Chain A
Amino acid sequence: MAGAEGDDSLYPIAVLIDELRNEDVQLRLNSIKKLSTIALALGVERTRTELLPFLTDTIYDEDEVLLALAEQLGSFTVLVGGPEFVHCLLPPLESLATVEETVVRDKAVESLRKISQEHSPVDLEVHFVPLVKRLASGDWFTSRTSACGLFGVCYPRVSIMTHTFESTLITAVMHFRTLCSDDTPMVRRAASSKLGEFAKVLELDYVKSDIIPLFTALASDEQDSVRLLAVEAGVSIAALLPQEDLEDLVMPTLRQAAEDKSWRVRYMVADKFSELQKAVGPEITKNDLVPAFQNLLKDCEAEVRTAAANKVKVFCESLPEDSRETIIMTHILPCVKELVSDTNQHVKSALASVIMGLSTILGKDNTVEHLLPLFLVQLKDEYPEVRLNIISNLDCVNEVIGIRQLSQSLLPAIVELAEDAKWRVRLAIIEYMPLLAGQLGVEFFDEKLNSLCMAWLIDHVYAIREAATCNLMKLVEKFGAEWAQNTIVPKVLGMANDSNYLHRMTTLFCINALSEVCGQEITTKHMLPVVLKMSTDQVANVRFNVARCLQKIGPVLDSSALQAEVKPVLEKLATDQDMDVKYFALEAISGMYLFNLPTYIFSETFSFSSILFFFFSFSLSP
């Protein structure tokens, strides 16, 4: 008995080991992903003593398998017996943290960070801190890179143990310092990107005495890839320091970064500008950041200007209120004006996506006087994306000055975008139609835009026709059923007689979308006859879309119309010679049965074999 039981309990691990050694990567991967099940089967004791050593030894696999393993181990605490034993997960994760492949390493570090929270302060000091030290002084750059990400998580909790805290901390800072001046740029990059996080867990005195020199050194590294990461660290550090220390400790370095000779560093400054602004407070913003921002907006590299242009609105919004308007009018706006006619489309497009937001900050008069001309210029820009970005943000202006001010220029811009050669541009403008229609009003719409909306219905790209259909629905939601009946329904139904079957199908798709918003009356009176008439179309695709359409509009119709008109047509379609038509007709019949015709399926006109056919095809369809 005992023997049999032993064999039984060995079985899962035997399977695992077997699969872990399988030649097929997929099988190995699957078995790793089932690791928690296997650990559960083994119990905590044997997971600790057998499974984990085994896993630690097999770390020579494909990166994909290792990645899965690294991820699994992060949530293994319960499976090894809870926080008390969590430290036995450290050896396999330590090996994984030295792997070359970055994704594996990062995942191992992520898991280590996760389980570090589950260590007790004592275990942290006894097991985790030595691991960080080992990694930090590893031979190959990979382990040192991984170590950088662990300082920030393990030291705050060690600090609870006051008797060793000082010495632990001092060695930690020492190790981090070594990593910051590592030989390989890879490690310096990692240190640079984790410096801010590490600074956050240290006491202010340490930040001032130890972190600032590291920051200054990294920010003037010989490699720009290191310098640019220091920018973010600078922002975090600035947020920690009291106002009076900022000027001396971080501003010189940050100023230097904003004028770095490498555009990548300047780009980073531009990209982090809002965070920086928040971290340094209003005074430094006024004195330092405003000129720096102006320079970034005028930078010689388009990449930097783009990043800065993206920040224009947020930067202006967060300026101190007392001087906001003056600063914008005298310092920022002149730069913005230049950017409007920038030579690079990405710059203009970035600006166009935020410039409208300035109107709420500047108020009505300034908007009309200063911003409106800029909007108008951008609305006429040669690049569709720029125009599109303006149009997509019209709602901000609408609140301040009303969109009418723009309508003269808006219309040509919309028309041009509506007919753009790239279908993605057309698609984008369609999506703004309901918004525009709401803001411009029904009259303007009928006069100027309605024909555009109808033209999209016969676009040669399906995605456009589809979006146009959806657009009609949203317009009807805005303008009401009566408007629909007078303006768009006749045109849509007219297309049912078009010689192109794609256009005839569009009619059906429109009806699908419109029936619910138009209501029962219009649907029954105007749409249904057209749909029914199309059931004799010579193209099978049209016929089966009739079936689908009938199913779709069924809930809107009353039961007498369903019985008297829809039912016979669907039954006829269910005997169609085309297989797909039959299929969809039967599906429609059963669909309606689910809705409101509980006895329908048993009616005598309906043959049993076609029900069978339906069930058969249903079970085949995915």
Chain B
Amino acid sequence: METPTKLPPSSPSSPTTGFSVPSAEKVDGFPRRSMRRARQRRSHSSSQFRYQSSQVELTPLPLLKDAPVAELHDLFCKKLQQCCVLFDFLDCVADLKGKEIKRAALNELVESVATSRGVLIEPLYPEAIKMISVNIFRTLPPSENPEFDPEEDEPALEASWPHLQLVYEFFLRFLESPDFQPSLAKRYVDQKFVLQLLELFDSEDPREREYLKTILHRVYGKLLGLRAYIRKQINNIFLRFIYETERFNGVAELLEILGSIINGFALPLKSEHKQFLVRVLIPLHTAKSLSIFHAQLAYCVVQFMEKDATVTEHIIRGLLRYWPKTCTQKEVMFLGEIEEILDVIEPSQFIRVQEPLFKQIAACISSPHFQVAERALYFWNNEYILSLIEENCQVILPLVFGTLYRVSKEHWNQTIISLIYNVLKTFMEMNSKLFDDLTSSYKLLLHNNVDLITK
């Protein structure tokens, strides 16, 4: 039985607020003003498609808390229907009264689902899911900035967030309510629903993705029949991201959910899961935008190893295969991930991969980029890794010795040189005989080479 564990704490009810205020104009001579102005204007027309049907005038309904018990469900249903009306938020003065009525109604619905028991009865399920679908499912608008860089650029925020947030909040409370019955919900929260939910993860608005993450996690947890389908669709999204478009905003969020799903995998691992690791998670490392989701990805990879040590070799060889050739920033990330892996590696598995692995580490040590070299040398500060190295000194030292010796004489960066001296010292203490042998044979080699050149 698979059970997803709890997501890392990040309360969706208070999502990050840092995004709402655009930072001060950049002073690099390329003002962003024109772009932002275009954004405001563009969005002005962009929601007409959704807005077409909303000529309805809303009238306030009585409060839920004042309603007699007999009429409560009826009123609840009416409020749900009222909330199906969509408003144009890009025109911020349009129909203020209607917007306020809907906002109040949504607030009441959230409150009611969260606090009172016995509200969620069967006839309300289709109405609730319909209200949620109408509000959240939409074709995401084209990205305003075709070269949108999630690390550099301000994300485009969803204009209708004041309502959308409450709808998401309602959905979440609905799923988390003690009255929630999966057997009733599964009729309405079906495959099509989930597919549309997954497509929303491409939203540029981080607040929306945060909600989606928690919601999908709950759906996965409660609706068992949808689990395989959800995993498969996430696979498809990732494969498309890796091999087709290289664009999808919600990779980190989906990986975070997967991290907790993997944690709950039953043993022995099904071949479907191993395939997911080898054909999806490992190739994800090739993405250009790796830095955005690397932490979550590395977490998933390590989860797999902790589940089943036999996948270790696949993982390490996969990473070595996709090792970055020109991007030093990514190289540092890879090294970080290797360290996380080595932290939990089983000694028997370590032996299987040590040769190719330490060849790569030696290559990193001789990188002219000092951060790469430094990150690789830090491995020797890790006690567990050090103990693995010590056990296999006979194999590893010859692999790295030449590099260490050469780089210790040549590197431009003092920090690297002193780190290397420490590493050499460690090796000397580990196995002085081997060390001396290698030193003398290396010097001999060097000498012969010099002879060859001078002759």
Contact = CB atoms under 8 A, between A and B. Distances in A.
Do these two chains interact? yes
A558 B131 CA distance: 89
Contacts of B195: 222
Given A222-B192, A261-B139, A301-B142, A186 B236 contact: yes
Contacts of A62: 321
| Prevailing SS type, chain B contact patch | helix
B283 interface: yes
A265 B228 CA distance: 29
Contacts of A264: 139
B352 interface: no
A344 B192 contact: no
Contacts of B47: 300
Given A222-B195, A301-B141, A186 B244 contact: yes
Contact of B141 (A184, A225, A263, A343): A263
Interface string B29-53: 0000000001001101111110000
Interface residues of B, number: 23
Interface string B194-207: 01000000000000
Given A186-B239, A261-B139, A263-B139, A343 B41 contact: yes
Nearest to A344: B42
Contacts of A184: 236, 239
Contacts of A222: 192, 195
A181 interface: no
Contacts of B239: 141, 184, 186
A101 interface: yes
B36 to A, nearest CB: 13
* Residue of A62, A263, A300, A344 with highest tally of chain B CB at under 10 A: A300
B276 interface: no
Nearest to A105: B243
Given A343-B44, A344-B42, A186 B240 contact: yes
B139 A343 contact: no
B6 interface: no
Given A185-B236, A186-B240, A302-B42, A262 B279 contact: no
Contacts of A183: 232
A261 B196 CA distance: 13
B294 to A, nearest CB: 20
A102 interface: yes
Interface string A198-232: 00000000000000000000000010110000000
A303 B45 CA distance: 12
A102 B48 contact: no
A343 B240 contact: no
Nearest to A145: B243
A524 interface: no
Contact of A102 (B38, B243, B321): B243
Contacts of B283: 100
Nearest to B359: A23
B243 A101 contact: yes
Interface in B33-79: 38, 41-42, 44-49
Given A102-B243, A300-B47, A301-B46, A224 B139 contact: yes
Nearest to A103: B243
Interface residues of A, number: 25
Given A185-B236, A343-B45, A100 B243 contact: yes
B291 to A, nearest CB: 22
A345 interface: yes
Interface string A421-461: 00000000000000000000000000000000000000000
* Residue of B48, B240, B243 with highest tally of chain A CB at under 10 A: B243
Contacts of B42: 302, 343-344
A344 B321 CA distance: 45
Contacts of B44: 343
Contacts of B232: 183
A300 B244 contact: no
Nearest to B49: A300
Contact of A300 (B41, B46, B240): B46
Contacts of A224: 139
Contacts of A345: 38
Nearest to A64: B325
Interface in B156-203: 192, 195
A263 B141 CA distance: 8
Interface string A173-205: 000000000011110010000000000000000
Contact of A303 (B142, B244, B279): B142
A186 B139 CA distance: 20
Contacts of A141: 239
A62 B325 CA distance: 12
Interface in B350-370: none
Interface in B122-149: 139, 141-142
Contacts of B46: 300-302
Contacts of A101: 243
A12 B428 CA distance: 45
A140 B195 CA distance: 21
Contacts of A302: 42, 45-46, 142
Contacts of A261: 49, 139
Nearest to A303: B142
A87 to B, nearest CB: 29
A300 B45 contact: yes
Contacts of B279: 100, 140
A344 B142 CA distance: 13
A101 B240 CA distance: 11
Interface in B328-377: none
A302 B39 CA distance: 11
Contact of A185 (B38, B49, B141, B240): B240
Interface in B232-287: 232, 236, 239-240, 243-244, 279, 283
13 contacts: A100-B283, A102-B244, A141-B239, A189-B244, A225-B240, A263-B141, A300-B47, A300-B49, A301-B142, A302-B45, A302-B142, A303-B142, A343-B45
Given A140-B279, A141-B239, A225-B240, 16 more contacts: A62-B321, A184-B239, A186-B236, A186-B243, A186-B244, A261-B139, A262-B139, A264-B139, A300-B45, A300-B46, A301-B46, A302-B45, A302-B142, A343-B41, A344-B41, A344-B42
Interface of A: 62, 100-102, 140-141, 183-186, 189, 222, 224-225, 261-264, 300-303, 343-345
Interface of B: 38, 41-42, 44-49, 139, 141-142, 192, 195, 232, 236, 239-240, 243-244, 279, 283, 321
9 smallest beta-carbon distances between A and B, as pairs: A343-B41, A300-B48, A262-B139, A303-B142, A102-B243, A300-B49, A300-B45, A302-B42, A185-B236
